[in-house]
Amino acid sequence: MTRAEKYSAVIDYFNTNMPVAETELLFGDPYQLLVAVILSAQCTDKRVNMTTPAIFDKYPTVQTMSHAEFDDLFPLIKSISYPNNKTKHLIGMARKIVNDFEGKVPMTVDELVQLPGVGRKTANVITSVIDRQPNMAVDTHVFRVSHRIGLVPATATTPLAVEKHLVKHIPEELIHKAHHWLILHGRYTCLARNPKCDQCGIRDFCSFYRKTTTRKTG
């Protein structure tokens, strides 16, 4: 199977079996999504969703967050991983948006990465979820699943390299959705330690499954 054929098969499968694929983070506007994504770094969406209601109740807008004090915000974030840094990032992010972007969350990757706590992955998430821009955020799930299936070569050893391969081969209008396909597949089926290959609908064209099956029968 060529790589082009593999992409076609994977896309057809997800289009049929996961026609609706969205972030599991709960949010009401771009500001709330940005807060949630910053908090989600090395933390589960479930934990973030348990934490953000209190944050949004006290700081409902980017303007109110820009006036937050560390000692007031930190208690609301302390159950999240790296609470010290994330508290600083949220306050810094809000202040920069208010001061440099007229209080509106910018919607380009180049602008977003100027914000404290926002890297390329976060910027890609924001632009693809809010604006459906053809940007592919590569987290650990996307990185792992892409390699296991064989969507990217072994030489793609960085998130950026994986991103470039995926964007090159996935139709532009599907990139924002494909990001969630790969994340959700990695989160619930293609697990890091014990992938559920027996329950996987794409195992017939998965490089990892073919190798492990050959190893067992060889």
**Angle formed by the axes of helices 159-169 and 120-131, nearest 10°:** 30
* C-beta separation of 38 from 182 below 8 A: no
Assess whether 139 carries a catalytic annotation. yes
Q: d(Cα 155, Cα 148) in Å, to the nearest integer?
A: 13
* C-beta separation of 130 from 145 below 8 A: no
* C-beta separation of 136 from 175 below 8 A: yes
* List 121, 177, 198, 216, catalytic entry: 121
* C-beta separation of 90 from 35 below 8 A: yes
How many CA atoms does the CB half-sphere of 189 hold within 13 Å?
Answer: 18
* List 96, 139, 177, 211, catalytic entry: 139
Looking at the annotation, which residues are catalytic? 121, 139
